[in-house]
């Protein structure tokens, strides 16, 4: 074998070693049929997931309007602030919306109504996945809660899926103009509405100030 051919083979092997692995395939649409689980449960990256807290947050800034539905494996404290948290999270992001209404929404490819995401702790780092399919059914909307059921499956090596019923509360923050003073404690539940808060829409969302999660 000539030296030229050997060099080409070596370079080809090095290039192959540096190639990123192929992305896992998208799940099938049949995997996201809605069920009647009483809570959002499933697996993320091969580990069990159960939603202990559900929140919704509305962003109204021009060009960035959206509603985020957030499900977390433990109680969310200081919701709306970009703080590090050692918890698993699933979130659905619905662009170009400032409210939700009862009805069925789907993310099955072209023309998806929302995007699906998750992150989970893995040692000192977080694993993030931002590809998948899902269905979301909103059954009831009130000023301080949104009820419904959902199922999402992700394009990861473990074929992660979660689904079930939820009741989401608003995700409020101290920097949203919702407090007259800093209340004691760190929990979001300690926040009190200001005397003259900025008007909220029918779903009780706050104006945008931070990116969350």
User: Phi and psi of 161, rounded to 5°?
Assistant: -145, 145
| Structural domain total, the chain | 1
- 51: in domain: yes
Q: How far apart are CA 79 and CA 74, in angstroms?
A: 12
Q: Nearest to residue 152, comparing CAs of 168, 173, 130, 172?
A: 130
Q: How far apart are CA 175 and CA 4, in angstroms?
A: 65
Beta carbons of 163 and 42 less than 8 angstroms apart: yes
Residue range(s) defining the domain that contains residue 139:
22-190
For residue 7, is it within any domain? no
**pTM metric for this prediction:** 0.76
Position 84 in a domain = yes
Residue 88 resides in a domain: yes
pLDDT tens digits, one per residue of 181-208:
445 454 555 454 433 333 334 344 433 4
pLDDT per position as a tens digit, 62-111:
888 999 999 999 998 878 777 677 899 999 999 999 999 999 999 998 88
Pairing of strands 66-72, 89-95: antiparallel
**DSSP reduced 3-state for 177:** coil
Backbone torsions φ then ψ of 47, nearest 5 degrees: -110, 145
92 within domain boundaries: yes
Q: Which residues pair with 135 in a beta bridge?
A: 106, 151
Does any domain span residue 200? Answer: no
In the DSSP assignment, the letter for residue 128 is E
Q: Is position 44 within any domain?
A: yes
């Amino acid at each position: 074998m000539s030296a030229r051919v050997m060099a080409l083979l070596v370079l080809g092997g090095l290039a192959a070693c540096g190639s990123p692995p192929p992305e896992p395939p998208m799940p099938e649409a049949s995997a996201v049929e809605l069920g009647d689980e009483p809570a959002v449960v499933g697996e993320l990256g091969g580990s069990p997931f159960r939603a202990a807290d559900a929140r919704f947050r509305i962003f109204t800034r021009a060009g960035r309007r959206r509603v985020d539905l957030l499900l977390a494996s433990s109680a969310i404290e200081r919701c709306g602030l970009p703080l590090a948290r050692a918890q698993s999270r699933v979130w659905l992001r619905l662009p170009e919306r400032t409210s939700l209404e009862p009805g069925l929404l789907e993310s099955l490819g072209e023309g998806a109504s929302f995007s699906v995401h998750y992150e989970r702790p893995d040692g000192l780092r977080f694993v993030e996945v931002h590809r998948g399919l899902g269905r979301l059914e909103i059954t009831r909307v009130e000023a301080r809660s949104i009820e419904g059921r959902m199922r999402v499956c992700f394009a990861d090596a473990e074929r992660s899926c979660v689904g079930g019923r939820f009741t989401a509360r608003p995700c409020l923050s101290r920097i949203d103009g919702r407090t007259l003073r800093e209340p004691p404690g760190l929990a979001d539940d300690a926040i009190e509405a200001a005397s003259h808060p900025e008007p909220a829409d029918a779903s009780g969302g706050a104006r945008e100030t931070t990116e969350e999660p």
